[in-house]
Amino acid sequence: MALQFSLAFTTFLLLLSLFWLLKVWRRIKPQNKVQKLPPGPRKLPLIGNLHNLIGLLPHHALQQLAGDHGPLMHLQLGEISAIVVSSPRLAKEFMKTHDLAFAERPELLAPKIISYGGSDIAFSPYGDYWRQMRKVCMLELLSAKKVQSFSSIREEEISSLIESIHSSEGSPINFTENICSLTSTVVCRAAFGTKCKDQDEFTLLVMESSALAGGFDIADLFPSKKFLHVLSGLKFKLEKIHGKIDKILDKIIHDHRENPMSAETGNGELWKEDLVDVLLRLQQSGSLEFPITTNNIKAVILDMFGAGTDTSSTVIDWAMSEMMRQPRVLEKAQAEIRQAFDGKKRIHEKDIQNLNFLKFVIKETLRLHPPVAMLLPRECREPCEIDGYEIQLKTKVIVNAWAIGRDPALWHDAESFIPERFANSSIDFNGTHLEYIPFGAGRRMCPGITFGMANIELPLAQLLYHFDWELPGSMRPEDLDMTEFFGAVVRRKNNLHLVAAPYSPSE
The whole-number pLDDT of residue 482 equals 98
Q: How far apart are CA 141 and CA 276, in angstroms?
A: 9
Residue 345 pLDDT: 79
Helix H or strand E segment including 499: strand 497-502
Phi, psi (deg, nearest 5) at residue 208:
-65, -45
Strand, helix or coil at 91? helix
β-sheet bridge partners, residue 126: none
Count the Cβ atoms, other than its own, within 10 Å of residue 68: 11
- Length of the chain (residues): 507
- What's the rounded Cα separation, in Å, for the pair 364 and 360? 6
Residue ranges in the chain modelled with pLDDT below 50: 1-25, 28-34, 262-271, 507
Cβ–Cβ under 8 Å, residues 448 and 372: no
Could you give the C-alpha distances from 345 to 309, 337, 338, 506, in angstroms and in order? 26, 13, 11, 9
Q: Which helix (H) or strand (E) holds 7?
A: helix 2-28
Of 41, 37, 45, nearest in space to 78 by CA: 45
CA distance 273 to 192: 9
Question: Is residue 305 exposed (0-12), middle (13-18) or buried (19+ Cβ within 10 Å)?
Answer: buried
What interhelical angle do 449-466 and 356-368 show, nearest 10?
A: 120
Fold classification of 33-502 is: Cytochrome p450 (1.10.630)
Distance CA 300, CA 296 (A): 6
d(CA 364, CA 416): 9
pLDDT at 35: 55
Please report, for the chain, the start and end positions of each structural domain, with discontinuous segments joined by +: 33-502
SS3 category, 494: coil
CA-CA distances (angstroms) from residue 432 to 96, 233, 321, 438?
9, 40, 28, 12
Predicted pLDDT at 168: 87
Question: What is the model's pLDDT at position 209?
Answer: 92
pLDDT of residue 272: 65
Q: Does 137 carry a binding-site annotation?
A: no
Positive/negative CA dihedral, 368, 372, 374, 380: negative
**According to the model, what pLDDT value does residue 9 have?**
33
List pLDDT tens digits, range 255-297. 999 877 644 444 444 446 889 999 999 999 888 888 999 999 9
